[in-house]
Amino acid sequence: MSQAKIHYTLTDEAPMLATHSFLPIVKGFTKTANIEIEVPDISLAGRILANFPEFLKEEQRIPDALAELGALATTPEANIIKLPNISASAPQLDEAIAELQAKGFAVPNYPAEPKNDDEKAIKAKYAKVLGSAVNPVLREGNSDRRAPKAVKNYAKANPHKMGAWASDSKTDVANMNEGDFYGTETSTTVENATEFKITFYGNDGSSKELKGLSPLKAGEVIDTSVMNLNALRAFVQNAIQEAKDKNVLLSAHLKATMMKVSDPIIFGAIVETFFKDVFAKYGELFKSLDINANNGLADLYEKIKGQPQEAEIKAAIDADLTNGPRVAMVNSDKGITNFHVPSDIIVDASMAALVRNGGKMWNKDGAEEDTIAIIPDRSYAGFYQAVVDDMKENGALDPTTMGSVPNVGLMAQKAEEYGSHDKTFQATADGTIKVEDANGNVLLEQKVQKDDIFRMCQTKDAPIQDWVKLAVNRARLSDTPAIFWLDKGRAHDREIIKKVEKYLKDFDTTGLDIRIMDVKDAMRETLKRAREGKDTISVSGNVLRDYLTDLFPIVELGTSAKMLSIVPLMNGGGLFETGAGGSAPKHIEQFLEEGYLRWDSLGEFLALQASLEHLAQTQNNTKSQVLADALDEANAKFLATDKSPGRKLGTIDNRGSHFYLAMYWAEALAAQTKDAEMAAKFAPIAAALKESEEVINAELIGAQGKPQNIDGYYKPDTYKTYAAMRPSTVLNEIIDGI
């Protein structure tokens, strides 16, 4: 048997900590099936170092693990377990760079406003690290996300807390009615393979190439749209007034990490409109200090530190916060508002949390209040409004009875808006931005005013076909109705509908209930069915995939970390994402403060099971199938015995949950009869773990309750992190002895 490989990614924050405890277990168990576990470092710090070898000493240089994994993802051998990673906002990138520099890595500062060609080159390299820079590289397939039956049943039996929705809740979504991406979108399908370029033509006769010639494949859907900044600012002003009039909180919900070019600008426009007198009065000073509203208040406070006007500016900001509507808080204990950091308000998680919480967010005193939720663009605002309306009309959903909403999402090869960063530009003057082919024929064009955001998106045909196939398969396999969520009001979706209707004919859909519905209707129908306890597969584009796979799991299961999240790669490999949620920065904070990590690794367990099964099938490795089946049993027992970390000190945390998983996995391996060698191997391990249960728990729980020092946040010390995450010598001895 040749040695098979699983690539288990090293990422950031809570999942990175969890990996230090779980990886030794994974390595120990899988080596019995001759599987090698590789651990590519795709952490934010690792990605920065990999991109700047010329600034580093020889011994500090590391290979570009992400690029290597991206290449691997296009091959049939790929078997990658991908944990959530930081998608860095500009302030996070600055922090990570500062930490690396302090540790002796001479990487350059991030030049937000490059002043010469050298800085431009550095900025271009950092563009590969900023924002959502990992997932789009690895996602060479569409996504299949669902709560496995055992997980769903567990949630029904052990429901999480749900906030009640009042029928007179004042919570509402505020969106633009014109001048947004939705209203301006134009779209076309390219018949034959060609090339395109993007050029700005100024009303003054000037022109500037924004993007040089790039390929277009036959059948590709392309679109352009524009967000008019004047319309955006006017809309924000109205939303501020609305929140004030209704006497509720004001909150903003964007995706500045994934939409890393457009959404920080939109965030900045919201911040600048809210504090418009401050930005008008201190504009010159802010400019000289490189303060940009797009980076939020935290960055502003940092940069005015020590300035003669510091106190006066802070007072002016406080006055606006007092006079304006109350602003929703990210962390009321620490005084962190919704306007502090663009990456703190990630719409997929934040709106889901709002729905789970009876429509309420937190004010500065930590009390819950209704809110006006700013979601400027109608492309997605309407579907959140549909949820809010449904909750007001019918009350909160009931996790003990509600049906499940799995998702089949179009995302391969950077489909749709989430692949648009390299084609998103802010207009520097009034004019027209044209998408032209190599011969100058105009494919699409948009009129822009200075500061407007122009965006072009691509969606390749092969991923669309694969997505339709995946939807039909999932509907068949789970015998569940599937709804394509597409909006006839959007030019892009009208092109996609044509393709879906065409490609559905390629498959046998007899007996299946497959529908194409408008997004808002799809939401209403899905919620109605969920309330009746019925499951419905949502089949959606890339952005809705992201939003729906946090919204429903967070309502159904309490967190999207418990999702099974599979990406069948188009060339035959497998990418197994862990959960559908993020890297839970507040979990690492709690761990550093009190030695308790409440990150739930169920997503990792589920992904590992799927990865082992994929390996068994593609490499004909029967031992891997034995491992996968035993892990499946272990996962079920893990849920049945409720060994997930609690929320509080003194109960088993992430490390304790790994111990139980290892014990149940070893027990299942010892008990199975398909592979006698493995049964014999794991019988003493299972016995040793069981025998030491009390001692191990005492060691693991005994390690809690004190601050942890792992020497860093973005690049902690490996040795210290292992020590912190593996505090049980008894457990370590058993695992390391496998």
Ligand X SMILES: NC(=O)C1=CN([C@@H]2O[C@H](COP(=O)(O)OP(=O)(O)OC[C@H]3O[C@@H](n4cnc5c(N)ncnc54)[C@H](OP(=O)(O)O)[C@@H]3O)[C@@H](O)[C@H]2O)C=CC1
Ligand Y SMILES: O=C(O)CCC(=O)C(=O)O
Residues making contact with ligand X (CB under 6 A): 84-87, 135, 257, 343, 346, 349, 559, 561, 579, 581-586, 599-600, 603
Q: Which of 79, 184, 199, 257 binds ligand Y (CB under 6 A)?
A: 257
Partner touching 573 among ligand Y, Mg ion, ligand X, none, CB below 5 to 8 Å by kind: none
Annotated binding-site residue? 647: yes
Instruction: List binders of Mg ion among 336-375 (CB under 5 A).
Output: 348
Rounded to an integer, what distance in angstroms lies between the CA atom of residue 645 and that of residue 14? 13
H helices present in 331-412, as ranges: 347-356, 378-394
Annotated binding-site residue? 134: yes
Rounded to an integer, what distance in angstroms lies between the CA atom of residue 417 and that of residue 457? 6
Annotated binding-site residue? 145: yes
Is 13 a binding residue for Mg ion by CB under 5 A? The answer is: no
- Between 416 and 613, CB nearer to Mg ion: 416
Q: Which of 251, 337, 420, 549 binds ligand Y (CB under 6 A)?
A: 549
Rounded to an integer, what distance in angstroms lies between the CA atom of residue 565 and that of residue 551? 15
Partner touching 86 among ligand Y, Mg ion, ligand X, none, CB below 5 to 8 Å by kind: ligand X
- Between 225 and 257, CB nearer to ligand Y: 257
Is 87 a binding residue for ligand Y by CB under 6 A? The answer is: yes
- Between 12 and 185, CB nearer to ligand X: 12
Minimum separation from the CB atom of position 388 to ligand X (A): 19
Q: Which residues contact 458 (CB under 8 A, 6 or more apart)?
A: 216, 220, 221, 222, 414, 415, 419, 420, 423
Q: Which of 452, 466, 546, 629 binds Mg ion (CB under 5 A)?
A: 546
Annotated binding-site residue? 319: no
Partner touching 91 among Mg ion, ligand Y, ligand X, none, CB below 5 to 8 Å by kind: none
Minimum separation from the CB atom of position 552 to ligand Y (A): 12
Query: Which residue(s) pair with 306 in the sheet?
Result: none
Closest CA to 128 of 226, 7, 42: 42
User: Is-contact 326 369, C-beta < 8 A?
Assistant: yes
Annotated binding-site residue? 711: no
Beta pairing, strands 79-82 & 172-174: unpaired
Rounded to an integer, what distance in angstroms lies between the CA atom of residue 673 and that of residue 359? 51
Minimum separation from the CB atom of position 255 to Mg ion (A): 8
Q: Which residues contact 85 (CB under 8 A, 6 or more apart)?
A: 9, 11, 12, 15, 42, 43, 44, 134, 583
Minimum separation from the CB atom of position 627 to ligand X (A): 23
Query: Which residue(s) pair with 81 in the sheet?
Result: 8, 576
Partner touching 654 among ligand Y, Mg ion, ligand X, none, CB below 5 to 8 Å by kind: none
Residues in the interface with ligand Y (CB under 6 A) total 9
Partner touching 419 among ligand X, ligand Y, Mg ion, none, CB below 5 to 8 Å by kind: none
Q: Which residues contact 71 (CB under 8 A, 6 or more apart)?
A: none
Annotated binding-site residue? 587: yes
- Between 348 and 629, CB nearer to ligand Y: 348
Q: How far is CA 605 from CA 577, 600, 670, in A?
A: 11, 10, 19
Partner touching 561 among ligand X, Mg ion, ligand Y, none, CB below 5 to 8 Å by kind: ligand X
Minimum separation from the CB atom of position 141 to Mg ion (A): 17
Annotated binding-site residue? 204: no
Q: How far is CA 275 from CA 271, 467, 520, in A?
A: 6, 44, 34
Q: Which of 258, 347, 636, 662 binds ligand Y (CB under 6 A)?
A: 258
Q: Is 469 exposed, middle or buried (0-12, 13-18, 19+ CB in 10 A)?
A: middle
Is 543 a binding residue for ligand Y by CB under 6 A? The answer is: no
The pair of three-digit structure tokens given for residue 632, joined into one six-digit string: 């499946």
Rounded to an integer, what distance in angstroms lies between the CA atom of residue 587 and that of residue 17? 10
Annotated binding-site residue? 137: yes
Is 348 a binding residue for ligand Y by CB under 6 A? The answer is: yes
- Between 545 and 623, CB nearer to ligand X: 545
Minimum separation from the CB atom of position 84 to ligand Y (A): 7
Classify residue 226 by its DSSP letter. Answer: E
Minimum separation from the CB atom of position 669 to ligand Y (A): 33
H helices present in 247-346, as ranges: 262-274, 276-281, 283-288, 296-304, 310-323
- Between 405 and 679, CB nearer to ligand Y: 405
Is 675 a binding residue for Mg ion by CB under 5 A? The answer is: no
Annotated binding-site residue? 87: yes
Other Cβ atoms closer than 10 A to 551: 29
Minimum separation from the CB atom of position 448 to ligand Y (A): 27
Annotated binding-site residue? 374: no
Partner touching 342 among ligand Y, Mg ion, ligand X, none, CB below 5 to 8 Å by kind: none
Is 580 a binding residue for ligand Y by CB under 6 A? The answer is: yes
Instruction: List binders of ligand Y among 128-187 (CB under 6 A).
Output: 132, 135
Residues in the interface with Mg ion (CB under 5 A) total 3
Beta pairing, strands 143-146 & 564-568: antiparallel
Q: Which of 546, 613, 632, 699 binds ligand Y (CB under 6 A)?
A: 546
Q: How far is CA 414 from CA 2, 139, 460, 463, 482, in A?
A: 33, 8, 9, 10, 23
Annotated binding-site residue? 64: no
- Between 512 and 592, CB nearer to ligand X: 592
Question: How many Å is the Cα radius of gyration of the chain?
Answer: 26
Is 415 a binding residue for ligand Y by CB under 6 A? The answer is: no
- Between 452 and 546, CB nearer to Mg ion: 546
Rounded to an integer, what distance in angstroms lies between the CA atom of residue 259 and that of residue 265? 10
Q: How far is CA 186 from CA 35, 392, 493, 544, 579, in A?
A: 49, 34, 10, 19, 34
Q: Which amino acid is at 246?
A: K
- Between 580 and 662, CB nearer to Mg ion: 580
Annotated binding-site residue numbers: 82-87, 132-139, 145, 348, 545-546, 550, 582-583, 587, 598-600, 647
Annotated binding-site residue numbers for NADP(+): 82-87, 135, 582-583, 587, 598-600, 647
| Footprint of Mg ion (CB under 5 A) | 348, 546, 550
| Footprint of ligand Y (CB under 6 A) | 87, 132, 135, 257-258, 348, 546, 549, 580
